[in-house]
Structure 1
Amino acid sequence: MTERGVLICDAHELMRAGLRGLVDGQPDLTVVGEAGDGETAVAQALTLRPDLVLMEARLPCLDGISATTRLRAELPDTRVLVLTACDRDEYAYAALRAGASGFLVKDAPAAEMLVAVRGVLRGETMLAPSVARRLVDRYVTGAVAPLADARLDTLTGREREVLGLVGRGLNNVEIAEKLFLGETTVKTHVGRILTKLRLRDRIQAVVVAYESGLVRPGG
């Protein structure tokens, strides 16, 4: 089994110790380094090139959001999961805009933390449930009409169908089961959707699905 390297960045030593114990206790994960501030986190990541960075949002010297922006620019293959003490919306939105693949509250249960870590490593976008609900509300509240998006015209009928299911929060396995397709086929469709719509990741695809009216709240 190939181990995936994780860099832990948190200002609090006790939190780093807890995360280190959680990560190193998994057969497929290993901690490759630690940092207590944003500048050190970036320097460590550039040297160690981890698969994943667990990044606290509020770090001294350079905050976690700014550090994430720099990391994603320098190391596009390194994923970032942002952790905060509370699920404030502004942190979540800033983290996603900075290129993070997920946002989770620090006091999440260990099992939930590991699900998020492995999901991010698979290329999925992982959000704290409360944040995910508010993200959807933020993008649909107050919209008097769907926003026209000419990019959707580039999608095939099947790709629009897949995008709609991505917008509803289904993962590739669930989409495959619903559409009676192979998981690899679904993955190919999602990749083409992101390329055609010039999107970075699935969370941006969710936004497009709602803003264009392809997905409706409760639909």
Structure 2
Amino acid sequence: MVTIMNYAIFLPACFALNLTFGPNNLLALTHGAQSGIGFALRAGIGRLLVFIPMIVLSGLGLGIVLSASATAFTVLKLIGAVYLIWIGIRIVRAAKVTAQAKMSPLTARESFMREALTAAGNPKAVLIFAAFLPQFVPADAYASGYAIVGSLFLALEFVAIGIYAAIGRLAASFAGSKLHWMQRVSGFGMILFGMLLMLARRPAAA
């Protein structure tokens, strides 16, 4: 099993990784600002459901295959980048509507799918799992150890979603009638993440 020393190292390192600002956490921030913390947490379940098979695939060693395959990495990268840019454009357009009239609230289904597709479209996520999680898994209990660290990652990810949602909600309460400016920043942020993903390089094969 994972030792106490490994827990002491794993938990803060993992949580720092969970809190890293990226497209999914930007979505949590946006959903929290627009529709509240509970709504953002429910939408974030879409992200977690995508991360589960990613963690399993990484545990089976397929993350290494992805890092070694330029074609697979590039295809996933481009699909994810285009999706992020598309979502960003939609958020920016919605901000214009908000500025002119009250915008219809996001549906739970749409927000759930945004989180899921954003997570699925980032090939670097499975590579992070493949590089990070195995460092804390004992060789003599690999399956159970991997299940533990994977579960802890998902639990801390859910906490991170709540933190970003709370920050978004707090910012929205101060922004008041200027919420459309927050939406614009969020939308352009998603577009930027999409462009950066297009420029991302796959890790060199070992």
**TM-score, normalization by structure 1:** 0.26
| Higher fraction of strand | 1
**TM-score, normalization by structure 2:** 0.27
The structure, 1 or 2, with the larger RCO (C-alpha pairs under 8 Å, 6+ apart) is 2
| Higher fraction of helix | 2
